[in-house]
Amino acid sequence: MKIGRATYAGKTRLALIDEAKQEVLFIEGDLGSHPNPVLAVIEQRLTAGQLKESATDRAQLSDVTFLSPLSAFVRNVFAVGKNYHEHAMEFDKSGFNATSGASAIPAFPQLFTKATGTLAGPTDAIRFDSKHTSSVDYEGEIGVVIGEQCRNVSKADALGKVFGFVALNDVTARDLQKNHAQWFLGKSLDGFCPLGPWIATQDDAPLDSLHLKTWVNGELRQDSHVSKLIFDVATLIETLSAAMTLQPGDIIATGTPVGVGIGFTPPKFLRHGDQVRVAVTGLGELNNRVETL
């Protein structure tokens, strides 16, 4: 199942996506009018078959505009730093790592959060004040969507707690990330987490099929597979759930691969008018234009 929210004919709708047919099926009724309908689907553990019972009309994929699959985040996004070997090395050498230690490769998952106000849609602009930050960077990532409340989950059981996967961009103000040492401010500017265009369940987008690519102005910058994570999805769920109860709709951003702006000499930070595209196998694409204030 691939599920999201889209605008069509002047109305925001709950949508089931069929990539093979390039078609979108709209779900109406009480669920369709829910303030956070995709979250309701997750919480109620609904299947595509059940959703289709409330389907009305349909449209071509190219005729709809996708919004963020979630109307609002349940709580802060859980995110992981330095979770690909080559990116860990480029970050450690960049001069922007205020938390560097003896080894560039972490021994344990480096976890931080992004505020709920970072949520943005797959085609929304990435906006920031150039007087506040002068080093905004992109980080294409694969997001994990938790499907049920869980605590103390073992690695063996972890994927059973996953509803699906989603593409996201962990947009980062590198100067704020470095200056404040704790990464929260640099990661949490409004709109700094474009998400979507849909969430795909594991039967439609198996974990081992997920391949991520990021382009800036048509230049391929990132190209990696989820198998290259230092700490895999199951380990991240085990680690987080040992410390806290995970909730349906929680998002885990699994980390970004090599190729971010700070990895270049000189760094290639985002500028007004840049176009950032993030694509993940089976999860669709983010296409976000950069706008400075």
The two structure tokens encoding residue 138: 């992109």
| Burial classification of residue 266, based on how many CB atoms lie within 10 Å of its CB (0-12 exposed, 13-18 middle, 19 or more buried) | exposed
**DSSP H helices in 160-266:** 174-179, 184-187, 233-243
Structure tokens at 286: 């983010």
Which tens digit of pLDDT belongs to each residue from 10-43?
A: 999 999 999 999 999 999 988 988 999 999 999 9
pLDDT in tens, 203-241: 999 999 999 999 999 999 999 999 999 999 999 999 999
pTM assigned to the model: 0.96
Give the residue extent of every domain in the chain.
2-66, 77-292
- CATH 3.90.850.10 is held by the domain 77-292: yes
The radius of gyration of the chain's CA atoms, rounded to the nearest angstrom, is: 18
- Give the side-chain half-sphere CA count within 13 A for 112: 19
113-154 pLDDT per residue, tens: 999 999 999 999 999 999 999 999 999 999 999 999 999 999
